[in-house]
Structure 1
Amino acid sequence: MADRPDLALAFSPDNWKPHKALWKAHGEREGTRALIEVLLLARHLPHEHLPSWTAAGGQLTHHHLIRPSIRPDGRVRQDDAMPQQTLPPSESWRRIESWLATHSASGLALLNPPATPGELRDAEQALGIRLPSDLADSLRCHNGLTTWATLVPEQSPLPVGEIVDRWKTCMDVATENDGLTSRPWDDEPWWHPLWVPWAESADGGAQVIDQRPGPSEGRLGWAGHSGGGDFTDSWPGLADLLHAVALALHDGGGVRGLHPYLATQGELWWDEVDCQELDGQPLTPAPIGLS
């Protein structure tokens, strides 16, 4: 903290005193200090700068999302000061469905029915591992989409059969081309047997769930396209991504810089702030919530 004058100011005796109770209640545990840093620093940063600070150096544990709103006097509103637990995929899908039913009938129609228990068992047998729990929960809600669409920013969830097909194809390609080992210039191999592709980008890349044991198990990354796998700024898990999507649709804001829009036929699209058109057709900012 010595090299952070902004935090030194925030933790000065006059500013620290109101937050001693929070520290006493939650103790020296993961996320407590980070939460207090956000709350204190909010008094010394303009509101619009706070999201940039949290993204750059003030991350909380991945189980929490902070959505501070600042009163005119610069203080954090009490109802926004507490962390939010990440919802399970099934609950986030319920919230996404309700938003689509209200604002995007065409988007709602793209959701497949749930995968059957037999389909999930067959997939696990083909992959040789259990499906990630978040992915299984998601597939029990919707077995991917009927066609490629951006209900989720930058990727389209795959049906379980396509998950298996994509995994087999990437395993075959990697085996034939020495793609299962990292090259000197890449941090990751082109493919790994414990990467489960759950969604596909517009250019054919696979978003994978990393099932390798360790502290990063469950994280999301990109693979199976060009170069080694990429887990730069990866989501900690599928539940975190779906939670962020539901939060943006219901409460406003974006998902890592991408904001929801509606195209001319009511299709949901995600793009940078102030985007006005897609392929020459107008985009309108998506309504917030169910009103």
Structure 2
Amino acid sequence: MRIQTKYLIAFLSGTVITVIIVGVSLWGFNSLRKTTDYLVTVNSRVLEFASYFDKELAHSRRAEKEFFIFPNNRAKQAKYITKWKGAYNKIRGYLDELERLFLGENNAEMFALVAKARKVMDENETLFASVVVKFKRTGSYDTVNRAEYGTFKEKTHILEDIAVKMSQYGLAEVEKGREVLAKTQSRTQLTIQIISILAVLWGVFVPIVLSKRMTATIRYLTQISNDISKGEMEKEITVTSSDELGDLALSIKRMQTSIRIMLDRFKEGRL
């Protein structure tokens, strides 16, 4: 193998390692992007919509309580009924978003909680409509509280528990996502550092090895040449290289053989 070819291979191998570093970097950054996207688009969104769910549920509770404050004011009652319905409509929108996210995650437990929340809300809307009619007719909170409104409040507590579970789940998933992100970032950085170190070592090691072999061969051939110039022909040249230095060694070996033949003929008196 020619010396030029050896250095070309060394150069190309360094280029390949550089390409590997770039590839690993791109892979690492892509992994970080996917993890970050998942953390932002899924986990944090679950936490966000669960928080909205809980907030609007609190608004509905406030509206229903304010409804009972004005037994003889139909305008005020209508205002707070509208607020209560508005809060429930917003909750349904958040449940739609949560359902879509849980479906994407294939999370059957959370998906079932969404279905349960919808069912409880449907029942609560029917109960609250009955409570409103009865309260408007009687004007007595005690009367409705002993009947449908008591069941309504129990079901509202169920919705509150569901909202808390979803919020806890979202928060836990965000924390998991952060841990995964940190691990992915650390793994990517470590991989890039290891490959970069190997690339540097390779870039230093290969030229040193080539130079040492070339230097050793040149010293060897120089010693043989000096011996030949002194008339010492006992040492046999061993050719172990197939590059230009190997060609030079073969030339010196041929010259050594020719000189031996000439000396032998001279001794025989044939020259």
> Same fold by TM-score, threshold 0.5 exceeded?
no
**Which of these two proteins has the greater Rg computed from alpha carbons?**
2
**Higher RCO, Cα 8 Å, sep 6+:** 2
Comparing both structures, which one devotes a greater share of its residues to helix?
2
Q: TM-score, normalised by structure 2?
A: 0.22
Comparing both structures, which one devotes a greater share of its residues to strand?
1
Q: TM-score, normalised by structure 1?
A: 0.21
